[in-house]
Amino acid sequence: MVSVRVSVFSTIFGENGVEEIRREAQGRFAEKQDEWVLRYVESGEADAETRTTVRAKEDSITVIRSGGLDFRHTYRPGKTATSRVLTPAGETEMEVKTLDYRRRRWERGGELRFSYDLRMGGENLGTYQLHIQWREEP
C-alpha cells in the first residue's frame, strides 16, 4: 500500500436544504487486480477516530466504517440493500438505494463518486453524493 492524502466531499440533499461536508485524511491505497482498496482514518469530535476502508470494484463499492458509527455496506447502482448500523445510541437498520457509481484512476491518484438515497430506522434522510479523491504523498 502507498501513502496517500484523501479528500472526502459529501453533499446531502435533505428536507432542510443542502449540506456540504469536506474532510481530509491521511490514508493508504492499493490496487489488487480489479479491486482498489483505500484506507483512511478521520479524526472526529472529542478525538474520536473513525476508520474507513473502501473496496472499489468495477461495478460496486463497499464501505466499512468503525469508530463512532460502525457498518459495512455494499453500494450497487440501481439496487436497494439494507445493512445494520451500530451507533452510540444503539443499533438501527440502514436502507440504501444506490443511484450512481463511478471510479477513475490517473497517475499517482484517483477518485470514487457515488450517490444514494438513505433511509435509517424507517426515516428518509435524503440523497447523498460522495466524492472521494486521493493522491500519493511525495
- Give the mean pLDDT per block of 10 residues along the chain (138 residues): 96 94 95 94 74 96 91 96 90 95 96 97 93 94
Tell which phi-psi region holds residue 67, choosing left (phi > 0), alpha (psi between -120 and 50) or beta. left
pLDDT at 133: 98
pLDDT at 48: 72
Rounded to two decimals, what is the model's pTM?
0.91
What is the rounded distance in angstroms from the CA atom of residue 85 to the CA atom of residue 71? Answer: 5
Q: Pick 2-136's CATH classification: 3.40.50.1370, 2.30.30.230, 2.40.128.20, 2.60.450.10.
A: 2.40.128.20
Name the DSSP letter for residue 30: E
pLDDT at 45: 61
- CB 69, CB 50: distance < 8 Å: yes
What is the rounded distance in angstroms from the CA atom of residue 48 to the CA atom of residue 90? Answer: 17
Q: What are the sequence ranges of the domains in the chain?
A: 2-136
Measure the N-to-C terminal CA separation of the chain; round to a whole number of Å: 14
Rg (CA), the chain: 15
pLDDT at 128: 97
Other C-beta atoms lying within 10 Å of the C-beta of residue 15 = 7
pLDDT at 82: 95
